[in-house]
A and B are shown apart, each in its own frame.
Chain A
């Protein structure tokens, strides 16, 4: 049988407060938002605005949902769906949101490049870029808001966005992103 206490201990060692592993849906995102808001506003020893953490959580979770949606016709689609995990934790006074999912190796380098680029920008430049991307494209565009979520996270993060990727095979990797709220 699975040793849940051990699993819970590992989560605690990483200071994870909330964790969801498995197939995401909008309904789950909404439930978790309510739960985070409740927990954060009940004062977990911080003066931080829960909306900041929630906004980072929503962008990460919806990025994964949207990415998986794009992989609908991929032969490993089920694997993509099941690979998602989102955690919200607290490190001292500050919160972090870390999520992971399977990514197609063809998409990995462009994504890492995008994050490196965002990390290199000053707050003023990030704001300009955010407004530029907002103005691009209309309601009918296929990649209507691609990248806005990442720029938002870069703007709200207290430190550069962190990421890691682990190769699974020639086609797939596991990707994880961490934002300190």
Chain B
């Protein structure tokens, strides 16, 4: 599959999903006017990728701020991964947070509670 790369903007994160390496990176802030329009092609890419039966998938997220509707989109993305995990795919997610920023950590923890695949919060 073709690599999905979207440059970071003021209100949207860097997206670097590399199917060859099995590595999906999200980095930055997310509060665009229409998060659904921004995330729709990203979620579609992930679903198509997961349907191609990858061996392992690693995710690295560094999300300093996500508004509520972006959170919903990220949840939909993680739901797709959870489904593949239930079907035997090896997944690990590392969510990087600033060790001094409780707000960021709380946000990551709330996602962590809802998933059963390996989900590590890494304080940096």
Contact = CB atoms under 8 A, between A and B. Distances in A.
B50 to A, nearest CB: 17
Nearest to A156: B103
Contacts, number: 61
A139 interface: yes
Describe B's contact surface by its main secondary structure.
Answer: helix
B65 interface: yes
B11 A51 contact: no
Interface of A is mostly: helix
B102 A62 contact: no
A33 B69 CA distance: 17
A139 B10 contact: no
Interface of A: 26, 29-30, 33-34, 49, 51-52, 54-55, 58-59, 62, 65, 127, 131, 134-135, 138-139, 144-145, 148-149, 151-152
Interface of B: 10-11, 31-33, 36, 39-40, 43, 64-65, 67-69, 71-73, 75-76, 101-104, 110, 114
21 contacts: A29-B31, A33-B10, A49-B102, A49-B103, A51-B64, A51-B65, A51-B103, A55-B65, A55-B103, A59-B67, A62-B31, A62-B33, A62-B69, A131-B110, A131-B114, A144-B69, A148-B68, A148-B69, A148-B72, A149-B68, A149-B69
